[in-house]
């Protein structure tokens, strides 16, 4: 479905033909599908599921239903890293040259930025146990980073500014096969860490004190979970820009459908749910029937915010 | 020596144990010179007023915080020498006010008690399922095992937490105020349940509680923390010593040695 919709409309039949290696009459269509639509669909799946899983991990680690990569400032941290890279590049380009403009550099700075914020939030989270404080700290971190980005923007050229702004709109397209490869590698590594922690994530559902009493090595698992979250959210943000609400909303949406918090059931469901939601948002972003494409970040927020509000109003509290 | 003496061995012991917290510059001492021995099959209450250090003692005994000095031995091994990984097979906890997820079925939550014994995926073996079912029937919750914890009453949920500790199948269970938020019937019910557990399974339970009157009637031993000093003995030993006389301000609450209960002093004015 998401393959067929786009600025150029291509019939379903021909998509299936080209996917299974059959030749179709229109070679332009085939080119669009193989080099543009297919990488984009895979990107949407990887990013949707990656962000959703990182949201789940944070909600369990913090035992807090409001945790998520965007709410806790993780995405802002990644933005800050990228802003430093793009807008500070002119200062450093003498030393590092070409490297600065590669995708690897963007990934590294985005992951580094989100890791930094995650560590800061975690260290404060251990001192304050209450939900509201943590949320406010996340908001403060977000506004702090956006302030620093503004300062950077003030001193940078219009070219760099444009580059950053387009990145921050978020986009699932424009990824070459090689970049999709890098993204799936990050996704795979991040997810492997998460799978490795599965059993201990379940123990953490009882809170850290219980988990420790059952032989969970808290420090080690906390680090594993943080690294996993940072890789997943950092790489997603690096390639597709800061995408809001997927990380927060998908775990809650899935919990409505799957009546358990057992991570062995929840994790695969959330991977699936995140992928589907992201594909849906992508289809909406294409504005079927028109030739323009909306920024994906705007679509997830327009779609995600009402869903979370509706959930809160309906249940009055988040089951979690 | 009687045969009963042979059966019970010392499971948990503290010798010249000092409790407290180390802060950046200062050391805050909570209680000093604590000595006690808990044998298998004993139900022991930890009594003290709010802020007396009951929770600090439980945290120290469960290895969550280090002791300032002195030693704790579980099953003849130094607690400080036990690795985090192995701790779970020596003692289990029942805590209050933990952010426990209620979006789990009773069975799932109790099965988490098998955590130290399951493989890396947390798969339950036949033995695990058997122990979980046994724990559920011990607290009389077997019919509710597929219900979500969210749908349970406070008393039932407390029983689930106790069942989780039972499923962990450790010789020692430490409980922090297992009867809070419960009405009088459920308080008595839960404590009676603990008594039955220690008598039938040769486990030892140490629980912190404010239910002094119930504890005096039911427990084998009592650890009493009063203004940094710690007394240990059977209820009647402690009563003979007059240990309870100074626990509360005498013009408000008095201890009646005949009925073994605390009573309010009614003031006519």
Question: What is the sign of the dihedral through the CA atoms of A254, A258, A259 and A265?
Answer: negative
pLDDT of residue A17: 60
pLDDT of residue A23: 57
Range of the domain at A207: 12-315
Give the pLDDT mean for B104-120.
92
A296-315 vs A246-257: helix crossing angle, rounded to 10: 40
- Give yes or no for residue B2 having a pLDDT over 60: no
CB neighbourhood size of B190 (10 A)? 24
pLDDT of residue B22: 82
Give the residue, A117 or A308, on which the prediction is more confident: A117
Tens digits of residue pLDDT in A171-203: 787 778 888 888 899 999 999 999 999 999 999
pLDDT of residue B32: 87
Average pLDDT, chain B: 88
Q: What are phi and psi of B232, to 5 degrees?
A: -140, 135
Could you tell me the pLDDT band of residue A25, with boundaries at 50, 70 and 90? Answer: low
CB neighbourhood size of A136 (10 A)? 12
Could you tell me the pLDDT band of residue B191, with boundaries at 50, 70 and 90? Answer: very high
Using an 8 Å CB-CB cutoff, list chain A residues near B121.
Answer: 198-199, 264
Cβ–Cβ below 8 Å for B100 and A206: yes
Tens digits of residue pLDDT in A50-70: 999 999 998 898 887 777 887
User: With a CB-CB cutoff of 8 Å, which residues 169-198 of chain A face chain B?
Assistant: 196, 198
Residue B84 touches partner A, C-beta closer than 8 Å = yes
Share of chain A above pLDDT 90, in %: 17
End-to-end CA distance of chain B: 58
Residue B133 touches partner A, C-beta closer than 8 Å = no
Give the pLDDT mean for B223-236.
90
What is the nearest CA distance from A124 to chain B, expressed in angstroms?
Answer: 17
Residue A318 touches partner B, C-beta closer than 8 Å = no
Give the pLDDT mean for B56-72.
90
- CB A53 within 8 Å of CB A191: yes
pLDDT of residue B3: 42
Give the residue, B153 or A309, on which the prediction is more confident: B153
Question: Which CATH number does the domain B3-90+172-264 belong to among 3.40.190.10, 3.40.50.300, 3.30.200.20, 3.10.150.10?
Answer: 3.40.50.300
Q: Which of B102, B105, B112 sits opposite A202 (nearest CB)?
A: B112
- Give yes or no for residue B65 having a pLDDT over 90: no
Mean pLDDT is lowest, of A36-40, B212-216, B235-239, for A36-40
Mean pLDDT is lowest, of A7-16, B120-129, B190-199, B224-233, for A7-16
Using an 8 Å CB-CB cutoff, list chain B residues near A255.
Answer: 103
**A65, A125, A195, A206: which to substitute to probe chain B, counting the most B Cβ within 10 Å?**
A206
What is the nearest CA distance from B251 to chain A, expressed in angstroms?
Answer: 39
- Count of A-B CB contacts under 8 Å: 88
In degrees, to the nearest 5, what angle opens at C-alpha B253 toward C-alphas B252 and B256? 145
Cβ–Cβ below 8 Å for B105 and A260: yes
Tens digits of residue pLDDT in A274-284: 999 998 888 88
Q: How far apart are CA A158 and CA A195, in angstroms?
A: 43
Q: How far apart are CA A116 and CA A84, in angstroms?
A: 14
- Alpha helices by DSSP H, listed for chain B, are 3-7, 54-61, 84-87, 106-111, 126-138, 154-167, 184-201, 212-218, 235-241
What is the nearest CA distance from A49 to chain B, expressed in angstroms?
Answer: 21
pLDDT of residue A116: 85
Domain membership flag for residue A4: no
Give the pLDDT mean for B42-70.
90
Domain membership flag for residue A181: yes
Give the residue, B175 or A1, on which the prediction is more confident: B175
Which DSSP letter does residue B266 get? Answer: P
Q: Which residue of A has its CA nearest to B100?
A: A206
Cβ–Cβ below 8 Å for A319 and B102: yes
Residue A214 touches partner B, C-beta closer than 8 Å = yes
Give the residue, A246 or A129, on which the prediction is more confident: A246
- Give yes or no for residue B5 having a pLDDT over 60: no
Q: Which residue of A has its CA nearest to B168?
A: A214
Domain membership flag for residue A7: no
Total domains present in chain A: 1
Give the residue, B21 or A106, on which the prediction is more confident: B21
| Domain residue extents for chain B | 3-90+172-264, 102-169
Half-sphere exposure of A234 (CA within 13 A, CB side): 32
Could you tell me the pLDDT band of residue A4, with boundaries at 50, 70 and 90? Answer: low
Give the residue, A135 or A166, on which the prediction is more confident: A166
Which DSSP letter does residue B229 get? Answer: E
Q: H or E stretch including B261?
A: strand B261-264
pLDDT of residue B170: 94
Give the pLDDT mean for A38-44.
88
Q: Which residue of A has its CA nearest to B85?
A: A215
Using an 8 Å CB-CB cutoff, list chain A residues near B152.
Answer: none
Residue B97 touches partner A, C-beta closer than 8 Å = no
Query: Considering the entire predicted model, what is its pTM?
Result: 0.85
Residue A130 touches partner B, C-beta closer than 8 Å = no
In degrees, to the nearest 5, what angle opens at C-alpha B69 toward C-alphas B66 and B72? 70
Residue B85 touches partner A, C-beta closer than 8 Å = yes
Residue A199 touches partner B, C-beta closer than 8 Å = yes
Residue B122 touches partner A, C-beta closer than 8 Å = yes
Domain membership flag for residue A268: yes
Residue A260 touches partner B, C-beta closer than 8 Å = yes
Q: How far apart are CA B82 and CA B88, in angstroms?
A: 10
Among B114, B113, B84, B90, CA closest to B100 = B113
What residues contact residue A54 under an 8 Å CB cut-off, 6+ apart? A68, A69, A74, A190, A228, A229, A232, A233, A236, A247
Q: Which residue of A has its CA nearest to B62?
A: A213
Q: Which residue of B has its CA nearest to A212?
A: B84
Q: Which of A199, A212, A255 sits opposite B64 (nearest CB)?
A: A212
Strand B27-39 and strand B10-22: pairing?
A: antiparallel
What's the CATH number where A235 sits?
Answer: 1.10.3470.10
Among A73, A62, A60, A44, CA closest to A172 = A44
Among A25, A305, A40, CA closest to A175 = A40
**A67, A127, A204, A213: which to substitute to probe chain B, counting the most B Cβ within 10 Å?**
A213
Q: The complex's ipTM?
A: 0.88
pLDDT of residue A245: 81
Q: Which residue of A has its CA nearest to B108?
A: A262
pLDDT of residue A235: 84
Number of residues assigned to chain A: 320
Q: H or E stretch including B36?
A: strand B27-39
Residue B93 touches partner A, C-beta closer than 8 Å = yes
Residue A11 touches partner B, C-beta closer than 8 Å = no
Half-sphere exposure of B19 (CA within 13 A, CB side): 25
Q: Which residue of A has its CA nearest to B61?
A: A213
């Amino acid at each position: 479905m998401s393959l067929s919709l786009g600025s150029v409309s291509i019939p379903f039949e021909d998509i299936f033909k080209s996917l299974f290696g059959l030749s179709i009459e229109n070679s332009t269509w085939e080119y669009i599908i193989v080099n543009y639509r297919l990488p984009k669909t895979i990107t949407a799946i990887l990013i949707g599921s990656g962000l959703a899983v990182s949201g789940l991990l944070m909600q369990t680690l913090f035992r807090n239903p409001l945790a998520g990569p965007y709410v806790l400032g993780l995405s802002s941290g990644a933005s800050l890293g990228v802003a430093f890279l793009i807008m500070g590049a002119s200062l450093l380009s003498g030393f590092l040259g070409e490297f600065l403009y590669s995708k690897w550099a963007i990934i590294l700075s985005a992951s580094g930025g989100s890791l930094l914020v995650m560590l800061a939030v975690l260290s404060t989270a251990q001192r304050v146990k209450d939900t509201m404080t943590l949320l406010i700290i996340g908001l403060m971190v977000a506004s702090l980073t956006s302030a620093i980005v503004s300062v950077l923007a003030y001193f940078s050229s219009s070219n760099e500014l444009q580059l950053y702004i387009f990145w921050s709109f978020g986009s699932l397209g424009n990824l070459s096969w090689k970049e999709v490869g890098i993204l799936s590698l990050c996704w795979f590594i991040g997810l492997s860490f998460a799978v490795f922690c599965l059993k201990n994530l379940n123990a953490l559902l009882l809170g850290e004190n219980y988990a420790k009493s059952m032989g969970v090595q808290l420090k080690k698992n906390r680090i594993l979970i943080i690294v996993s979250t940072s890789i997943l959210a950092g790489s997603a943000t690096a390639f597709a820009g800061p995408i809001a609400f997927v990380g927060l909303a998908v775990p809650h949406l899935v919990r409505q459908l799957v009546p358990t918090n057992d991570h062995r059931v929840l994790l695969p469901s959330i991977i699936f749910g995140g992928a589907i939601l992201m594909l849906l948002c992508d289809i909406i972003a294409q504005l079927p029937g028109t030739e323009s494409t909306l920024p994906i970040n705007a679509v997830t927020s327009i779609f995600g915010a009402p869903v979370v509000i509706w959930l809160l109003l309906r249940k009055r509290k988040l089951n979690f | 020596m009687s045969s009963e003496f042979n059966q019970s061995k010392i499971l948990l012991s503290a010798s010249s144990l000092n409790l407290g917290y180390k802060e950046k510059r200062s050391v805050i001492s909570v209680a000093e010179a604590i000595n006690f021995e808990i044998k298998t099959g004993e139900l022991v209450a930890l009594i003290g007023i709010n802020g007396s250090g009951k929770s600090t003692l439980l945290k120290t005994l469960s290895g969550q915080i280090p002791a300032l000095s002195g030693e704790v031995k579980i099953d003849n091994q130094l607690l400080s020498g036990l690795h985090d990984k192995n701790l779970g097979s020596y003692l289990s906890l029942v805590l209050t006010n933990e952010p426990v997820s209620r979006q789990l079925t009773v069975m799932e939550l109790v099965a988490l008690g098998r955590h130290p014994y399951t493989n890396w995926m947390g798969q339950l073996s036949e033995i695990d399922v058997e122990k979980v079912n046994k724990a559920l029937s011990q607290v009389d919750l077997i019919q509710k095992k597929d219900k979500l914890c969210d749908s349970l009453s406070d008393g039932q949920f407390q029983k689930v937490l106790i069942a989780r500790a039972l499923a962990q199948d450790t010789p020692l269970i430490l409980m922090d105020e297992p009867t809070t938020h419960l009405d009088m019937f459920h308080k008595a019910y839960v404590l009676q349940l603990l008594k039955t557990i220690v008598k039938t399974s040769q486990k030892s339970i140490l629980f912190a509680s404010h239910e002094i009157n119930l504890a005096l009637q039911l427990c084998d031993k009592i650890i009493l923390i009063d203004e940094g000093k710690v007394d240990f003995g059977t209820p009647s030993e402690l009563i003979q010593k007059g240990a309870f006389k100074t626990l509360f301000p005498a013009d408000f609450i008095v201890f009646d040695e005949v009925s073994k209960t605390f009573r309010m002093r009614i003031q006519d004015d």
